[in-house]
């Protein structure tokens, strides 16, 4: 075996989810690979969740360089490193797993022989839903409200289609400083498609010390209730309160 082939056979890449924030919500599988890693790659706040130790190099990068970050991880694995790419929540939900496969597709064919594995994590909408009750107990969908990687028109089309079809919905990246008006528009569309009585929950920083969860009707909802640390869950027309909980029945007519 050549030196390069030998290095390739020792290296690996695991793309892992760190869950919504609470250390207890990191899976045992992910905790185990973090112990074996030589290199951690990811967006700054996620890499900061990993405890430094001897023999471990932490590579922090900015938010918008996912493809570079993914290629960097693959290059290091090809050199024999044991690389963990970290995302918050689940790595397959609006996160690094797709970016890594995009980089793999665009990269040298030799990378296809690398040992690559995706490890799931608890995504924000499921952590939030569990705190709220069971708002996603019937059919639902997840929509990323950021228009960084797709046109806003497409987001409006999907909101109308999902609301009109009676899906409960989870919204990631609902509102940022760079696009303050779009979430107001999203609320307007939802009121039209779902009706003002439909319940909407704003779950911020779930499972952390700053956690805040508020449920109101769509008629009462205001854009300021969401920020980039919030996942928003809209119920369907049957979603209702019981005691302090919100749930969606498992059946529909």
- ∠17-50-58 over CA atoms, to 5°? 105
Which residue's CB comes closest to ligand SAH?
89
Compare residues 83 and 93 and give the one whose CB is closer to ligand SAH.
Answer: 93
Looking at beta carbons only, is 89 or 163 nearer to ligand SAH?
A: 89
Q: Give contact residues for ligand SAH (rule: CB under 6 A).
A: 20-21, 87-90, 93-95, 123-124, 128, 172-174, 203-207, 228-231
Structure tokens at 92: 């397959």
User: CB of residue 51 vs ligand SAH: minimum separation in angstroms?
Assistant: 19
- DSSP helix/strand/coil, 214: strand
CB of 88 to ligand SAH, least distance (A): 5
Q: Of 95 and 186, which has the nearer Cβ to ligand SAH? A: 95
Using the minimum distance from each CB to ligand SAH, give the nearer residue, 45 or 195. 45
**Shortest Å, Cβ 16 to ligand SAH:** 11
Residue closest to 162 by CA, chosen among 93, 236, 248? 236
- Look up residue 138 and give its two tokens: 């019937």
How far CA 11 is from CA of 14, 23, 80, 113, 115, in Å, comes to: 10, 27, 4, 11, 7
CB atoms within 10 A of CB 253: 3
To ligand SAH, the closest distance from the beta carbon of 75 in angstroms equals: 23
The whole-angstrom separation of Cα 98 and Cα 102 is 6
Cβ proximity to ligand SAH: between 94 and 140 the closer is 94
Give me the least distance between CB of 174 and ligand SAH, in Å please.
Answer: 6
Closest distance of CB 108 from ligand SAH, Å? 28
Q: Which of residues 70 and 128 has its CB atom nearest to ligand SAH in the complex?
A: 128
Contacts of 180 (CB under 8 A, 6+ apart): 223
Tally of helices (H runs) and strands (E runs) in the chain: 8, 13
- For 212-240, b/e burial (b = at least 16 CB within 10 A) is ebebeebeebebebbeebbbbbbbbebbe
The minimum distance between CB 72 and ligand SAH, in angstroms, equals 19
Nearer to ligand SAH, 11 or 121 (CB): 121
Name the residue among 130, 200, 127, 144 with its Cα closest to residue 168. 200
């Amino acid at each position: 075996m050549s030196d390069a082939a030998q290095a390739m056979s020792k290296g690996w890449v695991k793309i892992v989810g760190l869950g919504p924030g609470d250390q207890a919500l990191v899976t045992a599988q992910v905790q185990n690979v973090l112990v074996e890693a030589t290199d951690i790659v990811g967006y700054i706040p996620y890499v900061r969740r990993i405890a430094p130790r001897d023999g471990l190099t932490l590579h922090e990068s900015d938010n918008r360089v996912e493809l570079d970050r993914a290629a960097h991880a693959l290059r290091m694995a090809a050199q024999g490193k044991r690389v963990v790419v970290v995302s918050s929540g689940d790595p397959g939900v609006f996160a690094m797993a797709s970016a890594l496969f995009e980089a793999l597709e665009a990269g040298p064919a030799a990378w296809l022989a690398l040992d690559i594995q995706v490890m799931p994590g608890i995504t924000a909408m499921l952590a939030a839903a569990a705190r709220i009750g069971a708002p996603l107990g019937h059919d639902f969908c997840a929509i990323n409200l950021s228009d960084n990687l797709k046109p806003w028109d497409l987001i409006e089309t999907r909101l109308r289609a999902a609301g009109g079809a009676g899906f409960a919905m989870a919204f990631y990246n609902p509102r940022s400083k760079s696009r303050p008006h779009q979430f107001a528009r999203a609320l307007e569309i939802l009121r039209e498609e779902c009706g003002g009585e439909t319940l909407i929950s704003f779950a911020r920083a779930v499972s952390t010390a700053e956690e805040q969860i508020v449920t109101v009707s769509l008629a009462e909802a205001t854009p300021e209730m969401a920020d980039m640390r919030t996942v928003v869950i809209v119920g369907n027309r049957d979603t209702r309160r019981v005691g302090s909980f919100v749930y969606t029945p498992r059946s529909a007519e």
